[in-house]
């Protein structure tokens, strides 16, 4: 998690289970205090979307991933927050 223009940005957030992801996110949000918290969630991971909803988050923008060739074989079920766009 790092400071951004208004609050904090979480990313990446990788976890082996939704319980671990929830625990990690909760601790990061606690650290942020009353500041806004942002996270870029991959749409294919429904558990990540559910985590955001349970924490009262809402979509403020969206991006698209584009690939030149084949889509990489990524463990999407373990990716709750992508590496931030600021880091590439």
Domain positions in the chain are: 2-81
| Beta strand residue intervals within 1-88, DSSP E | 2-4, 7-10, 13-14, 37-39, 79-81
Residue 87 is predicted with a pLDDT of 60
- 77-81 mean pLDDT: 96
- 18-44 mean pLDDT: 95
pTM higher than the cut 0.75: yes
Q: What is the mean pLDDT of the chain?
A: 92
């Amino acid at each position: 998690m790092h400071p951004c223009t208004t609050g904090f940005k979480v990313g990446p957030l990788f976890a082996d289970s939704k319980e671990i992801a929830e625990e990690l996110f909760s601790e990061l949000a606690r650290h942020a205090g009353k500041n806004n918290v942002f996270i870029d969630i991959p749409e294919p991971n429904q558990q990540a979307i559910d985590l955001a909803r349970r924490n009262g988050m809402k979509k403020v923008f969206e991006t698209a991933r584009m690939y030149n060739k084949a889509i990489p074989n990524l463990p999407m079920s373990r990716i709750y927050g992508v590496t931030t766009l600021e880091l590439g």
